[in-house]
Structure 1
Amino acid sequence: MLNISTNKVSNFLDLYSYKSGKATLHTNQHKLFRRLLIVSSILVLIILLLPWTQNITSKGYVTTLKPNQRPQTLQSPIPGRIDEWLVQEGDYVKKGDTIIKISEIKSDYFDEQLTDRTSDQIRAKSASVDSYNSKVGALRNQYSALKQEQKLKLEQAKNKLLQSKLKVTTDSMDLEAAKIKATIAQTQFERTINLQEEGLKAVKDVEEFRNKLQEANAKLNSQKNKWLASKNEVINAELSVSTIVTTYNDKLAKAQSDLYTAQSSALDTEAQVSKLENSLANYTKRNSLQYITAPQDGYINKAIKSGIGETFKEGEPLVGIMPANYDLAVEMYVKPMDLPLLHLGEHVQVQFDGWPAIVFSGWPNVSYGTYGAVIVAIENFANEQGLYRVLITRDPDYEPWPQALRVGSGAQTIALLEDVPIWYEIWRQINGFPPNFYTPFGHEASQNSDAKKSK
C-alpha cells in the first residue's frame, strides 16, 4: 500500500518480531555500506595505480623463418605428359629423389636418338671446319708464292728495262759517230770534186770518195734504225713491267678473295658447330627434365596433377612438397598507426590456436599458455587490406614453442610496449589515443650515430 500518512507502521507493530524484519532491519546498515564504499574506492584507486604494459594485439599465422623452408609446389619447365608416379601423398623424399616421370608432347623432340644425331652433325661440321682451315692455309701459301713470283718477275723486267735503256744510250753514241763520219765523208767528197775541177785530182779519186760517202750514209741510216729499235725495246720493257704488275695484282686479288671466302666459310661453319653444340646441350638438359625430382628433403603434401597420361603446360604446378627441416615463425599484421611503435628485436607474446591459454595482455608475467617471440622483419609496404606484415620468431630466452606446432595454424600475438599506470591506459582508450611512441635505446643510439656521420 502507499505510504500516504505520516504515521509510521513501526509505531503500531513490532517489526523485529517477524523473520523478515530480523533479516533486513539493522541498526548499523548505513555504517556497513560506508565501509564497503570506502574499501571499494581504495581498491579501485590501488588498481588504477597498478602498472599496465601497453600492447598491440593482432592475429597471425604460423610460417617458416626462411623462404626456402616454406611449402612449395613443383613445376615442370617443359610441357609434357605424366607417365609414372614414383611417390604417394605423405611420403618422405630426400633431395634428388624422383617424384614423377614425364614424356614429351612436342613433335620436335619425339626422336629418341636426337642427341646422337646432333652429335654426328657436330662431328661432320667440325671436320668441315678442319677442311676449310686447311684450304685457308693452302691459299695463304699460294698468296705468298704469288707475291714472291711477282717480286722476281718484276725485278727481271726492270733489269731488262735497264739493259734496254743502256743499249739506247750506246746506240745513240754510235749514231752520233756515224753522223760525224757521214759529215766528214761529205766534206771530203766536196773537196775532191773541187780539186778535180781544178785538175788536182783525178776522176778516180772523186769516185772513190763518192763511194765512201755512200757507205757513211748507209752506216748512218743503219745506226738510226738500230737506235730506233733500241728505243722500241725500252718501250717494250716498260710495257712488260706494267703488264707484270697488272697481271700479278689480278692473281693476288683472286687468291686473296679465295682466302677470304675460305675464312668466311670456316667461320660460318664454326658458328653452325657452336649452334649445334648449343642445341645438343639443350637437348641433353631437356632429357634430364623428364624427371621431376625433389629440390630438398621433405614430405609430399598433395598431387595436383594426379592422372597417368594427363598433359600439362610448362610452369603448371604438379605436386606440393613441405620441407622436412624448418624454423618456425609467425607473421602478424598490424595497422599503419601501430607500425612506428614496432622495432627489430622487440619482444612479443604469442598464443597459438589449439593450446589453452589464460592471457592478461597488460600483465604478461601472469599470463599462462603464451610463448615468447622476437621481431626479426618488418615489411615496408602494406597489403591489400592496408596492414603491414611483421615476422617474428622464437625468443631464445623463453621456453621452446610446442613440438606439435605446424605451419599454417593460427596465432594471436601481443606486442609489448611501455609500462604505464592503469588509469593512464583507461584514459588513453577512452580518448582513442595511440600507445606511447618511444624508441629503444640501441635504436636511438644507432640513429644518432648515423646522423653524426651524415653531418
Structure 2
Amino acid sequence: MTASSSHSQQELAQRTKRLVPTRPGKRRIVVTLLVTITLLAAVLKLTPFQQTVIGNGKVGVFTVMDRPQTIDAQIGGRLVLWKVQEGQTVQKGQLLAEIEDTESRFLSQRRTALLDQQLAAQRLRKAEGERRIAEIEAQLGSLESSRGAQIPAASERQGQARNRLAVARQNVIVAQKALDATKQVATKQAEQRIAQATQRVAQAKDRLRQAEQTVEADKVSVDVNRIQRDRLADLLKDGLRSQREFELADQAFVAAEVKLKQSKLAVEIAQKEILNAEADLKFAKATGIQADIDVQRATAQVVSARETLASAQRDVTVFGFEQSRVDADTSATLSRERANLQQVKESLAAISDSIAKAELERENMQARVAQQKIYAPMTGRVSRIGKTVGPGQTVKKDDELLEIVPETQDQAVELVLTGFDAPLVTVGRKARLQFNGFPAVQIQGFPQAAVGTFAGVVTNMDPTDDGSGRVRVWIQPDTEAIAAGKESPWPSSARLRPGIDTIGWVQLDTVPLWYELWRQFNAFPANYTDAAKPSGGKDGKDGKDKKAAKPFKDGDIKVPKR
C-alpha cells in the first residue's frame, strides 16, 4: 500500500514537471517577444513609404498640332473625287478629296476669267484717270504761276500809274501857284528873297544857339549818368545793388553819350546852315534881275505838268482795264480746270472702288476654288471616315469628312485628379503609369517593387478645375530616367494609341511606414509641399529629395494639423 502510493506520487511529479516549464524556458519566450517587437518597430521606422495620389485618364498627345485632326468640308457641294480609305497613310499636302461647288454664284467656269478681264479694263481706266489728273494738276500749276505773275504785274503798273497821276496833279498845282506868285510879285521877288534869306540866317543862328544849349545840358546829363553808373558799380561789388540796376544805369550813361554826340552833330549842322543861309542871302541880292526869267520858267513848268497829268490819267485807265481782264480770264480758266479735276477724281474714286470690289470678289472666288480640293494638313493615318462620305454624296459646310492621326512620338497621359488630391501635386512630380492592355503589378507605396509600370513626370496642370471639382494634369515620359537606363521607355505609338485608359500614381513625399499607417488610421491627408518642385528633389538627378535621402530621425516627421 505504501509502495503503491509512493509510486503514484513519483509518477504525478514527473507529469507535473513535463507540463510546467522551467525558469530558462520562460526567459526564451520573453526574449523572443522583445526581439520581435524591436524588429517590427525598426521595420516600421526605417522602411520608407512613397506617398501617392491616384488618378484615371487616357493616353493623349501633348502637342496640339500632333493631336488627331478632323478634316471638315469648307464649302457645301457634291463629292466628285475621294482618294483615301481608313487606315491609309497620307503625306502632308496629298490630295484627299474634291468637292464640286453647287452654289449658283460659283457654277460658271469662266467667272474668274471674266473677273480678270473686268479688272484689266478697270485698271486701264484708273491709269488713264491718274494720267488725266496729273495733266490737269500740271496745267493748274502753270495757270496759278501765270496768274500769280500777271496780276501782280498789272497791279504794280496800275499803282505806278496812279502814283504818277498824283504826282502830276501836285506838280500842276505847284507849277500854277509858282506861276501866279511869280507874276504877282516879280518886282518884289528880290526883296522877298533877301528877307527870306535874312530870316533863314536868323533861324539858323537860333538853331545854333539851341543846339549849343542842348550840348551843355547833355554834357551835364553824361556826367550825372557816369557818376550814377560808377556809384552802382561800387554798390554792386559790395552786393548792395543788383546786376539789373547796374545794367540799367550803364544803358542810361550810353544813351546820354549818344545824345551828346547827336547834339554836337546838330551844332555842326546849324553852323553849316548859317553858312548856307548867308550864301543864299548874297545870292538873293545878286539875282534881282532874274524875275522875268523865273516867270517864263514857271509858265513852261505848268505846261509840262499838265501834259504829264493827262498821260498819267490815260495810263491809270488802261492798266485798270488790263488788271480786270487778266483777273477775269485766269479765274475763269482756273475754275473750269478745277471743276474738271474734281470730276476726274470722282470718276477715279468710283473706278478704284470697283477695282477693290472686283479684286475682293476674285480673291473670294480663288479661295472658293481652292477650298474645293481637300489636302492633308499633315502626315499621318486616316483613322475614321465620315458616315455620309463617298463619291457623288452631297455634303454641307462643316460636315466631318475624315480624321487623321499624325505620325508622332509625342506621348503623354491626360490624368484627372480630384479636388482633394490636386493641391498635393505640383509640376515636376514623378509618376508611375499603368496602361490598359499592358500587364503590370503596382505595389502602392513601394514603386521600386512595381512591375510593368512606366515612369512619367508632371509637366502641366490646369489652373482651374473642369467645373466639377476635378483638375487635369499632363504627364509625359521621364526622359532623364529613361536616357540614364533607370526606367524602361514607353511603348511605341503603334501599340500605345491615343485614347487608351490609364491609371496613374503621382508620387509625393517619402515618409516612414509607421507614419503612413498612423496617417491613414487617422484619415489625414498626405504631406503638402508648397514649393513647386519635382518629387525627385532639389537636384533633380536621382529622383529623391536630398532631405528625404537622409536617415529618418524623430524630428523629421511632422504630424499634420487638421
TM over 0.5: yes
Contact in 2 for aligned 1:172/1:227 (Cα 8 Å)? no
Shift of 1:109: 1.6
Deviation of 1:414 (Å): 1.0
CA distance in 1, matches of 2:65, 2:157: 87
Q: 1:71 aligns with which of 51, 68, 73?
A: 68
Q: Secondary structure at the match of 1:322?
A: strand
Q: Residue type of the partner of 1:54?
A: Q
Alignment map for 1:368-447 (pairs within 5 Å): 368-396=451-479, 397=481, 398-403=487-492, 404-438=495-529
Q: Relative to structure 1, is the Cα distance of residues 352 and 170 closer, same or farther in structure 2, using a 3 angstrom cutoff?
A: closer
1:225 CA drift (Å):
13
- Quick one: which of 352, 358, 366 aligns to 1:270? 352
Give the structure 2 partner of residue 212 of structure 1: none
C-alpha distance in structure 2 between counterparts of 1:419 and 1:445, whole Å:
14
Counterparts in 2 of 1:270-289, with a 5 A limit? 270-289=352-371
Cα distance change on mapping 1:321 and 1:162 into 2, 3 Å: same
Please list the CA deviations of residues 400-434 of structure 1 after superposition, one character each: whole Å capped at 9, or x if unmatched: 12232211111111112222233322221222211
Relative to structure 2, which stretch is displaced further, 338-347 or 51-60?
A: 338-347
Residues 160/65 of structure 1: CA separation in 2 closer, same or farther (3 Å cut) = closer
1:29-428 to 2 correspondences below 5 Å: 38=33, 45=41, 48-49=44-45, 50-151=47-148, 153-154=150-151, 155=153, 159=157, 162=160, 166=164, 231=313, 234-235=316-317, 237-304=319-386, 305-396=388-479, 397=481, 398-403=487-492, 404-428=495-519
| 1:131 Cα deviation from its structure 2 partner | 0.9
Is the alpha carbon distance of 1:421 and 1:140 closer, same or farther for their aligned partners in structure 2, counting shifts above 3 Å?
closer
8 Å Cα contact 2:154-2:322 kept in structure 1:
no
- How far residue 152 of structure 1 moved from its aligned partner, in angstroms, is 6.1
Say if 1:54 and 1:435, in contact at 8 Å, map to a contact too: yes
CA contact (8 A) 1:80 1:103 kept: yes
Q: 2:218 matched to which residue of 1?
A: none
Q: Determine the C-alpha separation between the residues in 2 that align with 1:354 and 1:292.
A: 36
| Deviations, residues 110-158 of structure 1 (Å, cap 9, x unaligned) | 2212221111111111111111122112212332343355356543575
One-letter identity of the residue aligned with 1:339: A
Rate the CA distance shift 1:224–1:372 in 2: closer, same or farther, 3 A.
Answer: closer
Question: Kindly tell me: are residues 67 and 181 of structure 1, through their superposed partners in 2, closer, same or farther at Cα, counting changes over 3 Å?
Answer: closer
Aligned length: 381
**Closer/same/farther in 2, CA of residues 409 and 227 from structure 1, 3 Å limit:** same
After the TM superposition, which of the residue ranges 129-138 and 45-54 deviates more from structure 2? 45-54
Q: How far did residue 229 of structure 1 move?
A: 9.8
The 1:294/1:284 distance shift into structure 2, 3 A limit, reads: same
Alpha-carbon distance between aligned partners in 1 of 2:176 and 2:40, rounded to the nearest angstrom: 158
* Cα 1:340–1:139 shift into 2, 3 Å: same
Q: Give CA deviations for 1:78-113 in whole Å, capped at 9, x if unaligned.
A: 333322211111111000011111122322222212
Find the counterpart in structure 2 of residue 14 from structure 1.
none
Alignment partner of 2:391: what SS?
Answer: coil
* Inter-CA distance 328–141: structure 2 relative to 1 (3 Å threshold): closer
C-alpha deviation, 1:439, in angstroms: 5.4
Deviates more, 1:417-426 or 1:53-62: 417-426
What is the SS of the residue equivalent to 2:509? strand
Separation (CA, whole Å) in 2 of partners of 1:318 and 1:390: 31
Judging changes above 3 Å, is the alpha-carbon distance between structure 1 residues 347 and 238 closer, same or farther for their aligned structure 2 residues? same
C-alpha distance in 2 between matches for 1:442 and 1:373: 15
TM-aligned CA distance change 1:363 to 1:177, over 3 Å? closer
**Larger CA deviation: 168-177 vs 138-147:** 168-177
Counterpart of 2:117 in structure 1: which amino acid?
Answer: D
Q: 1:244 to 1:353 in 2, by over 3 A?
A: same
- Residue 327 to residue 150, structure 1, CA distance change in 2 (3 Å): closer
Work out the CA distance in 1 between the residues paired with 2:168 and 2:441: 135
Partner of 2:235: none
Q: TM-score w.r.t. structure 2 length?
A: 0.59
**Structure 2 letter corresponding to 1:362:** G
Partners of 2:538 and 2:332 in 1: CA distance: 85
- Tell me the percent identity: 25
- Which consecutive residues of structure 1, in runs of 5 or more, have no partner in the other structure? 1-25, 183-219, 447-455
C-alpha separation in 2, matches of 1:400 and 1:445? 24
2:426 and 2:533 in contact (8 A); partners too = no
Q: TM-score, normalised by structure 1?
A: 0.71
Shift of residue 261 of structure 1?
A: 3.2
Gaps of 5+ in 2: 1-17, 181-301, 482-486, 540-562
Cα distance change on mapping 1:226 and 1:364 into 2, 3 Å: closer
Alignment partners' CA distance in 2, 1:171 and 1:373: 116
Q: CA deviation at 1:290?
A: 1.0
Q: Distance in 1 between matches of 2:146 and 2:135?
A: 16
Shift of 1:386: 1.3
Q: In 1, Cα distance between the equivalents of 2:167 and 2:512?
A: 132
Tell me: CA distance 1:42–1:358, structure 2 relative to 1, closer, same or farther (3 Å): farther
Aligned residue for 1:354, secondary structure, equals: coil
Query: Is the Cα–Cα contact under 8 Å of residues 165 and 231 in structure 1 kept in the other structure?
Result: no
Shift of 1:441: 9.2
Deviations 1:49-78, CA, capped at 9 Å, x for gaps: 433211111112111131111112012333
CA–CA separation in structure 1 for the residues paired with 2:20 and 2:529:
53
Comparing 44-53 and 381-390, the one that deviates more: 44-53
Question: Could you tell which deviates more after superposition, 100-109 or 264-273?
Answer: 264-273
Q: For residue 388 of structure 1, report the CA deviation from its aligned partner.
A: 0.8
**Partner secondary structure for residue 125 of structure 1:** helix
Secondary structure (helix, strand or coil) at the match of 2:344 reads helix
Letter in 1 for 2:511: V
